[in-house]
Structure 1
Amino acid sequence: MNILTLLAVASGGALGATLRLLINGTVNKYIPHTLPFGTLAVNLLGSLLIGILFAYFHLNSTLSPHLKTFLITGLLGALTTYSTFAIESFFLLESGHYTQAFANMALNLFGTIFFAGLGYITILHFTK
């Protein structure tokens, strides 16, 4: 691993974490707290974007590996958050909010897979 790879991950990660903070805060400010919608929003958005980028990079293999690392590992890796989703689900379970906990788990798991696939398939479809 070289210094450019480390810089790509670090700078993308700083941007992604900042975006997560802003998006999460904005969503939680305007949507009632029955579920952790801020975390769900960043995970769904990040999954859609990673699907789009994977398709784009698949079609454009000559792009810089540092750009890929910046966007995928850095930016989107920091934008999305599995650990926050996990602890929020745990706290919902621990507090006896079983319906909300399982809804949160289902929406994050199936929603992120759906959105990643949607992004990927959409790009492949429109570039035929």
Structure 2
Amino acid sequence: MTSLATIIAVASGGAIGATLRLLINGAVNKHFVHALPLGTLAVNFIGSLIIGMLFAYFHLNTSLTPHVKTFLVTGILGALTTYSTFAIESFFLLEAGHYLHAFANMALNLFGTILLAGIGYLLILQISK
């Protein structure tokens, strides 16, 4: 059973992550008008970089409580990143016949987020040496 402390950690982190998602997505889409949903891509890139950094930090600092980790990863990053939004935006691009944009969006989100998660992880490990 999930504890009340875990639920509070996820809920409070989720409020922060969702607010950050709204602000980042809005700022990117306002300043970078493009056929691709760049706001979604930006939050997915940022979230992927940060999750890589956090997992490296967790690897190096085992004293953090599970509640802190849950607050940061499941709460903040879970609400910040937008994989379900990415999925529906890609579907809408395909449905509209914008195949090149749809596949570019899918490839950038898939490979870009994996690359940035790895960069974040390795960056923190390298800095900690």
TM-score of the aligned structures, taking structure 1 as reference length:
0.98
- Overall identity of the aligned pairs, in %: 73
Per-residue deviation at 1:33? 2.6
Correspondence for 1:31: 32
- Which amino acid in structure 2 is aligned with residue 67 of structure 1? V
Across the aligned residues of Structure 1 and Structure 2, the Cα RMSD in angstroms comes to: 0.6
Instruction: Give the secondary structure class of the aligned counterpart of 1:63.
Output: coil
Task: Calculate the TM-score normalised by the size of structure 2.
Answer: 0.97
Distance in 2 between residues matched to 1:33 and 1:88, nearest whole Å: 13
Distance in 1 between the 2:3 and 2:99 partners?
A: 46
How many angstroms apart in 2 are the aligned matches of 1:13 and 1:82? 15
3-state secondary structure, aligned to 2:89: helix
Q: How many residues align?
A: 128
Which runs of 5 or more structure 1 residues have no equivalent in the other structure?
Answer: none
1: distance between equivalents of 2:115 and 2:41? 13
Which residue is 1:77 aligned to? 78
Structure 1 consecutive aligned stretches of length 4 or more whose deviation exceeds 4 Å = none
CA distance in 2, matches of 1:92, 1:10: 32
Render the CA deviation track for 1:34-78: whole Å, top value 9, x for unaligned: 100000000000000000000000110111111100000000010
**Unpaired segments of 5 or more residues in structure 2?**
none
